[in-house]
Amino acid sequence: MPVTDSIADYITRIRNAGRAKNKTTDIPYSKLRENISELLVAKGYIKSFTVITTEQFPFIRVDLKYSALGEPAIREITRVSKPGRRVYQGKDIRKYLGGLGLYILSSSKGIITDKEAREQGVGGEILFRIY
């Protein structure tokens, strides 16, 4: 079944796997999802990811990160810009939760965080927020 919003599907799979305390989750591959996974690894929200190619279709295996008490590293992950209502932000991007969380943006510089966008002086579409 085709997915109309691949980012929402990615977010939902990670959120559901975290709530179910799964160690890994498999997500259908796309270059955008790979770039988002790289950013989440760099920011410490997921442990690692691997792109696996099969005969049918490639997918991304995401290794989720948990605290010593077993709590998921991702407490909240929510889609902001949706297919029916796109949300764009200029250079003056506000901080999410006073800097505790992140906005993930799609900009002319690629997939970046709100902090990187402020430093580079660029805006873009706010894909989702994560805490």
Residues 48, 83 within the same domain: no
What's the CA gap between 44 and 38, in Å, rounded? 10
Query: Which CATH number do you get for residue 100?
Result: 3.30.1490.10
Measured CA distances, 102 to 4, 28, 30, 56 (Å): 24, 24, 22, 35
What's the CA gap between 25 and 52, in Å, rounded? 12
Residues 11, 32 within the same domain: yes
Q: Is residue 70 part of a domain?
A: no
Residues 10, 58 within the same domain: yes
Q: What is the per-residue pLDDT across 3-48, written as a single tens digit (0 to 9) for each?
A: 678 899 999 999 999 999 999 999 999 999 999 999 999 999 999 9
Reported pTM? 0.88
- Number of structural domains in the chain: 2
Query: Which CATH number do you get for residue 15?
Result: 3.30.1370.30
